[in-house]
Amino acid sequence: MEIILTGTGTPIPDPNRAGPSTLVKAGDTQILVDAGRSVVMRLAGAATGPPALDAVLITHLHSDHVCALNDVITTHWVMSQEQATLRIFGPVGTEEFVRRQMHALEPDIAYRTEHHNFLEHGPQLAVTDLEPGDTFSINDVMVSTAATEHSPVKPTIGFRLEHDGSIAALVGDTLPCDGVDELARDADAYVQTALRRDILEPIPVQGVQDILEYHSGVVDAAQTAARVGAMRLVLTHMVPAPQPADYPDWIAHAAAHFDGEVIIGDDLTSVTI
């Protein structure tokens, strides 16, 4: 299994970090988790694209995680010449979110179906709302879900992908919780969005203090990784976004609590498990 970070950014625009999303390649199967800003460009950087996706999994409907889903849908539709159905899974509310996206795309769909002979109808989508605890397979990849803790954002879910003896946990924005422990237990790679409490806590800005309430800190993530016996901790969606010179300090904060490998994600960082 190969995990490619197709976006390690946050809502704050960053020229080097696309919005949060992660591509998992497992055998011939490609699964995208979340669809943040510029994900389609980063998929191109990973030598793939929406037509190659077997499924899109959504952790939650915060805009930074889904703002480029319409680009994934439209590009999948046009590039596959409407021959393929794009499967989208997410927490309850995802079906409605996608339905509204499709309303927004109605003019474009009308222009393109009128202009291109190869398009007779709009995007072919199969959207499934998931409950925590749901399990399903995408080709030969087993996917399990659990509730995460990102309150007041509800519902939120994380994913555990198992293929050929390898386990990847991709849990999105969340505080440490039982659901994350369940998903990341014995994982070969545990991918966690994370912030630095020690840097952010002294900043007297309400918006900064708000984000501390519902995200894992680096120390939290490292403690989770150690508690559940994960082999690697992959940090993404980092606040504040670190520069490469900061990486050793970030790794040191995690390594104080976790003996395994700690990877600070850049866009297109690839982790093979």
Active site residues: 64
CB of 60 to Zn ion, least distance (A): 6
Residue 161: CB atoms within 10 A of its CB come to: 25
CB nearer to Zn ion: pick between 42 and 62: 62
Q: What is the rounded distance in angstroms from the CA atom of residue 130 to the CA atom of residue 160?
A: 14
Q: What is the rounded distance in angstroms from the CA atom of residue 41 to the CA atom of residue 20?
A: 13
CB of 91 to Zn ion, least distance (A): 12
Sign of CA dihedral 216, 63, 160, 38: negative
Residue whose C-alpha is closest to residue 1's, from 181, 221, 232: 232
Positions touching Zn ion (CB under 5 A) are 62, 64, 173
DSSP letters spanning 87-99: EEEEETTHHHHHH
CB nearer to Zn ion: pick between 119 and 175: 175
CB nearer to Zn ion: pick between 62 and 87: 62
Q: What is the maximal distance between C-alpha atoms in the chain?
A: 60
Helix (H) / strand (E) containing 132: none
CB of 242 to Zn ion, least distance (A): 16
CB nearer to Zn ion: pick between 10 and 80: 10
CB of 37 to Zn ion, least distance (A): 11
